[in-house]
């Protein structure tokens, strides 16, 4: 227990700015553009069976306590399959799996291919991710062989591996596609892509990591304590479950977690079978507001899918996520009202800073500086309005200032402006959002010349324009 509590304090320290508590201001207008999103799906537990359960100390003392929990989150249906399909595609696909749904197995290679989803590309989040130039992989514990859709075992359920149900992934024939063989793998036994091996370098860690523990480690069969121990193993590299020994997985210790922007979601597919179907869901990582962050708004699996899509600017896939609101309250930014209209200093320099404010643009005249972040060497990154009334970005990190205008016109009235800068030399990131939408011309991810000096100063507005809901967040990188 002492080790668990110590880890909780580490997470706590990376979830807050110095000297503050969890913010209470309105949610951020968008989700950070994460480099890696980890998803772990647990099974068949009411929220009340997990929260404060003494058999789940890691879940409660570390994941829930140190991070951001959705307290009004619901599964879509009963039977695992509709929940997993909905989570990755925005639809339960009732015409395919039945209504009420059945936990059927796809019959690829047979006439009609029953229980198989024939929708065109993109039919699921994996398709959308690949279409955006990112990578994905699903890791199913105890699956036995890659892309296993043919059968279940006592510990492996095909219904917990949703990607094999989609023709765009599996291929539609009795022999699975190379794409499925490469990206839908056994968590430990795959000779090419075990999770532990892929986590050894950031370059080999997929952008989207989907993890399905087996029925001995996911609470499916009621063993809460063993599932809790296995989650501790996956995140910390321990082996308290006995299932993380020879080649241990360690998400928190991986380069993808320690050297880039990553988040992990742990969610339960459905509850124990009640009418309500309320389940636990938690967002874990340095970019969420903890300790003890809570959001009581009502969300479902469709909302979680929409959150990933918003983070990566992906279009919705189905009717469920199209109608769902993303879960953005986890990304509230810390208030910093003292900095309105003047330049202020951070308590300590940071390589990555995210700033947000609402500003009232005057009806006439061109306002000056809207937001700025700067380094101790004089480098400065500014959102300004150019002479034509359009949003522009000024980068003074190099010997000569770089000025980039966009097509986004700035209209009078209250508007939300957001600036994110990640200092990484020639491969830095700079991005500007206006009223919750990225400004494409002012978005340079991985190729913004930022220099190497961390951010030290910041300023909201120019002192002449009214501002409100000022906020600032820093990464622990």
Note down the domain range covering 182. Answer: 2-331
Give the residue from 273, 298, 331 where a domain finishes.
331
The count of structural domains within the chain is: 2
Structure tokens of 457? 């100063």
- Write down how long the chain is: 477
| Phi, psi angle pair for 388, to nearest 5° | -95, 5
**Alpha carbon 184 to chain centroid, angstroms:** 20
Residues 326, 468: one domain?
no
- Interatomic CA distance for residues 295 and 278, integer angstroms: 14
Structure tokens of 368? 């000056």
- Using an 8 Å Cβ cutoff, are 330 and 299 in contact? no
What pTM did the predictor assign?
A: 0.77
Reading the chain (477 residues) residue by residue, the pLDDT tens digits are 322 323 332 332 223 222 233 333 345 556 778 999 999 999 999 999 999 999 999 999 999 998 999 999 999 999 999 999 999 999 999 999 999 998 899 999 998 889 999 999 999 999 999 999 999 999 999 999 999 999 899 999 999 999 999 999 999 999 999 999 999 999 999 888 999 999 999 999 999 999 999 999 999 999 999 999 999 999 999 999 999 988 999 999 999 998 788 999 999 999 999 999 999 999 998 878 777 888 999 999 999 999 999 999 899 999 999 999 999 988 866 556 556 667 888 878 888 888 888 888 887 656 678 999 998 767 789 999 888 889 999 999 888 889 999 999 988 898 889 899 999 999 999 999 888 788 999 999 889 999 999 999 998 888 788 887 777 777 644
According to DSSP, the β-strands at 136-140 and 184-186 are parallel
341: CATH: 2.60.120.200
Residues 10, 155: one domain?
yes
Residues 371, 305: one domain?
no
Give the residue from 283, 308, 331 where a domain finishes.
331
- Interatomic CA distance for residues 359 and 461, integer angstroms: 7
Q: Which of 74, 78, 31 is CA-nearest to residue 298? A: 74
Query: For residue 282, how many C-alpha atoms fall within 13 Å in the half-sphere facing its CB?
Result: 25
Q: Which of 464, 466, 462, 458 is CA-nearest to residue 333? A: 458
Three-class DSSP category at 180:
helix
CB burial of residue 83 (10 Å; 0-12, 13-18, 19+): buried
Q: Which of 419, 427, 399, 400 is CA-nearest to residue 470? A: 419
Residues 97, 110: one domain?
yes
Residues 374, 447: one domain?
yes
Three-class DSSP category at 179:
helix
Residues 59, 174: one domain?
yes
Residues 355, 290: one domain?
no
Following DSSP, what letter does each residue of 300-359 receive, concatenated? Answer: EHHHHHHHHHHHTTPPP-SHHHHHPPP--GGG--EE-GGGBTSEEEEEEEESEEEEEEEE
- Interatomic CA distance for residues 248 and 255, integer angstroms: 15
**Alpha carbon 141 to chain centroid, angstroms:** 22
- Interatomic CA distance for residues 232 and 51, integer angstroms: 16
- Using an 8 Å Cβ cutoff, are 190 and 138 in contact? no
Structure tokens of 342? 């003047």
| Phi, psi angle pair for 292, to nearest 5° | 70, 25
User: Which residue shows structure tokens 């986590």?
Assistant: 199
Residues 201, 345: one domain?
no
- CA 316 to each of CA 74, 75, 138, 200, 303: distance values in angstroms, whole numbers, following the listed order: 19, 19, 20, 32, 11
- Interatomic CA distance for residues 357 and 51, integer angstroms: 35
Residues 271, 374: one domain?
no
Q: Assess whether the previous peptide bond of 122 is cis (omega < 30° from 0).
A: yes
- Interatomic CA distance for residues 177 and 163, integer angstroms: 12
Structure tokens of 27? 């949610």
Q: Which of 469, 447, 253, 260 is CA-nearest to residue 351? A: 260
Structure tokens of 40? 């772990």
Give the residue from 289, 310, 331 where a domain finishes.
331
- Interatomic CA distance for residues 21 and 14, integer angstroms: 12
- Interatomic CA distance for residues 425 and 3, integer angstroms: 36
Following DSSP, what letter does each residue of 388-401 receive, concatenated? Answer: TSEEEEEE-SSSS-
Query: For residue 50, how many C-alpha atoms fall within 13 Å in the half-sphere facing its CB?
Result: 31
Q: What is the CA radius of gyration of the chain?
A: 23
Residue 63 neighbours by CB under 8 Å, 6+ apart: 231, 235, 266, 282, 284
- Interatomic CA distance for residues 49 and 327, integer angstroms: 23
Residues 322, 443: one domain?
no
**Alpha carbon 424 to chain centroid, angstroms:** 21
Q: Which of 374, 380, 371 is CA-nearest to residue 433? A: 371
Residues 370, 453: one domain?
yes
84: CATH: 3.40.720.10
Q: What is the pLDDT of residue 336?
A: 60
Residues 85, 191: one domain?
yes
Structure tokens of 304? 């979680």
Structure tokens of 291? 């300790």
- Interatomic CA distance for residues 419 and 242, integer angstroms: 45
């Amino acid at each position: 227990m002492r080790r668990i509590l110590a880890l909780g304090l580490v997470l706590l320290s990376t979830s807050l700015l110095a000297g503050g508590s969890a913010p209470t201001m309105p949610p951020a207008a968008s989700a950070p553009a994460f480099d890696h999103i980890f998803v772990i799906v647990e099974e068949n537990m009411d929220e009340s069976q997990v929260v404060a359960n003494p058999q789940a100390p890691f879940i409660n003392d570390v994941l829930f306590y140190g991070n951001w929990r959705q307290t009004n989150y619901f599964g879509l249906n009963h039977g695992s399959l509709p929940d997993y399909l909905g989570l990755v595609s925005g639809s339960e696909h009732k015409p395919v799996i039945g209504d009420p749904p059945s936990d059927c197995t796809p019959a690829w290679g047979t006439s009609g291919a029953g229980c198989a989803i024939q929708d065109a590309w993109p039919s699921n989040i994996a398709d959308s991710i690949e279409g955006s130039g990112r990578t994905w992989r699903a890791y199913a514990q105890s699956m036995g062989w890659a892309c296993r859709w043919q059968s279940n075992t006592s510990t492996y359920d095909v219904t917990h591996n949703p990607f094999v149900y989609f023709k765009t992934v599996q291929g539609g024939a009795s022999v699975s596609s190379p794409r499925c063989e490469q990206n839908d793998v056994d968590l430990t036994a795959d000779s090419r892509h075990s999770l532990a091996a892929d986590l050894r370098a950031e370059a080999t860690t997929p952008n989207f990591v989907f993890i399905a523990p087996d029925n001995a480690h996911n609470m499916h069969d009621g063993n809460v304590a063993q599932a809790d121990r296995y989650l501790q193993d996956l995140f910390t590299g321990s082996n308290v479950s006995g299932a993380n020994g020879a080649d241990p997985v360690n998400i928190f210790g991986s380069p993808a977690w320690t050297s880039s922007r990553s988040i992990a979601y742990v969610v339960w597919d459905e509850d124990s079978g009640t009418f309500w179907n309320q389940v636990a869901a938690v967002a874990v990582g340095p970019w969420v507001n903890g300790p003890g962050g809570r959001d009581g708004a009502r969300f479902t699996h469709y909302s979680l899918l929409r959150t990933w899509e918003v983070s990566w600017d992906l279009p919705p896939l189905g009717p469920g996520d199209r109608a769902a609101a993303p879960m953005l309250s986890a990304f509230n930014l810390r208030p910093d009202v003292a900095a309105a209209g003047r330049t202020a200093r951070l308590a300590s320099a940071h390589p990555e800073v995210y700033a947000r404010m609402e500003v009232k643009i005057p009806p006439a005249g061109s306002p000056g500086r809207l937001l700025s972040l700067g380094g101790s060497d004089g480098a400065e990154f500014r959102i300004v309005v150019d002479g034509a009334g359009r949003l522009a970005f000024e980068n003074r990190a190099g010997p000569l200032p770089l000025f980039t205008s966009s097509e986004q016109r700035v209209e009078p009235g209250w508007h939300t402006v957001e600036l994110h800068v990640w200092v990484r030399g020639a491969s830095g990131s700079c991005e500007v959002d206006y009223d919750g939408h990225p400004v494409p011309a002012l978005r340079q991810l991985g190729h913004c010349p930022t220099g190497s000096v961390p951010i030290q100063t910041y300023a909201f507005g120019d002192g002449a324009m009214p501002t409100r809901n000022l906020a600032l967040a820093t990464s622990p990188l």
